[in-house]
Amino acid sequence: MRTSMPVIGVALVWVLMASCSSDPGTQPNGNVTGLVPDFSLQDVNFRSPTYEQQVSLSSLEGQIVILFFGDLECTVCTAQFGGVREVAADLENEGLMGLTLMWVNPHIADWQVYQLEANPEFWGTFLSPVLQDVLENETNKVGSLLNCTKGKEVVIIDRVRHLHRKVESGLEGEAEINLETTAGQDSLAGWIREIDA
């Protein structure tokens, strides 16, 4: 009986170590926890330096990555994304280095991408990637991976590819946060600042 005690102790230590791992896992609601698996999507923003290239998460390691999931033709999405852009600009003006903001589009239709040309007042100064997140069977690769299927969702990934925060944005009473408001923008900025605190 005494000889089995060390084996149980070793097994318990192994279980505890496994539970503290930085490997990707999922919560009961399907959200990724820990290390975000690498992905690669095509950039469809003709103003971006990576236009028509694959952009991978691993190539952005060392950066704080903010992903915004939304339809390019959705006016609520572009309004919410405008708030994200304001926060990113304010943080960069404060001296925050290494912040990458990307829009993730869940549709492949040409008229979706046409929105980048049709609304130059909004998109004209956005030089970052707009990633096309759709597979041949019309499922969303990254949206499914991060459980971002509703649209208007913001995902913050820290400098070592760990999921820091995921939040649904939208109109008051319909979502967790409204990024058109000062309060919503302040909350988002606070979550991003936590990464380097």
25-66 per-position pLDDT tens digit: 444 334 456 899 999 998 888 889 999 999 999 999 999 999
- pLDDT surpassing 90 at residue 81: yes
Sign of the CA dihedral with 192 first, then 159, 135, and 116 last:
positive
100 Cβ neighbours under 8 A, 6+ residues apart: 60, 63, 64, 65, 66, 128
CATH class of the structural domain 24-194: alpha beta
Alpha helices in the chain (DSSP H): 4-19, 75-94, 110-118, 120-123, 141-145, 182-194
Closest CA to 54 of 137, 113, 133: 133
Encode pLDDT of 121-158 as tens digits.
Answer: 777 788 889 888 876 555 668 888 888 877 899 999 99
Task: Compute how many other C-beta atoms are within 10 angstroms of the C-beta atom of residue 109.
Answer: 12
pTM score: 0.79
Q: Which residue ranges make up each domain of the chain?
A: 24-194
Q: Considering the chain, what is the average pLDDT of its residues?
A: 79
Res 18 pLDDT > 60: no
